[in-house]
Amino acid sequence: MEVLKKFPSASRISLAQVMQPEHANTQGNVHGGWIMKLVDEAGALACMRHAQRRVVTVAVDRMVFRSPIQIGHLVILTAEVSYTGRTSMEAEVQVIAENSITGVRTHTNTAYLVYVALDDKGSPTTVPGLAAENEEDEQRIEEGKKRQAERLKNAKAGVE
């Protein structure tokens, strides 16, 4: 039986939201936790699109905020599956802040999250593999394999 594989682009999703005053932290910028919530939603949607199943978040690799996001800016999140295991998937999520007046865009962070697909009973279930459409996909998939190997190595060593 041939294993189904999908291209990363088939899972790609984009979310956009204007940052409002209720999203602000005490510094007057967008609260990092709000961005983390949006990143998790974008990653989950990409993985659900890939697996055509419900998913749960298993891990979030480090998230570095390279620059603050201002209230009134448009936050654009783009996510796609960058690695698949038997039941798990890694999503790469890019976060861009855009000044809606000037059009200037700033890449604020990239995050990698791991999700597990669930069957109708809530148990982990297999997911389709990934097939590269181009050299960029091949590189992204290889980098995803390396990140997953590092996660498994750290888990075995008890490092979180």
pLDDT digits (tens, 9 = 90+) for 2-57: 458 999 999 999 999 999 999 999 998 999 999 999 999 999 999 999 999 999 99
pLDDT of residue 159 exceeding 80: no
User: What band does 109 get if pLDDT is binned at 50, 70 and 90?
Assistant: very high
State the Cα–Cα distance between residues 63 and 9, nearest whole angstrom: 23
132 lies in which domain range? 5-156
Average pLDDT of span 99-113: 96
Q: Output the CA–CA distances (angstroms, integers) from residue 31 to 19, 28, 70, 137, in the order listed.
A: 10, 8, 10, 32
Number of domains within the chain: 1
Any idea what the CATH number is for the domain that residue 128 is in?
3.10.129.10
Q: Which two tokens stand for residue 126?
A: 């297999």
pLDDT of residue 134 exceeding 50: yes
Provide the pLDDT for residue 1: 41
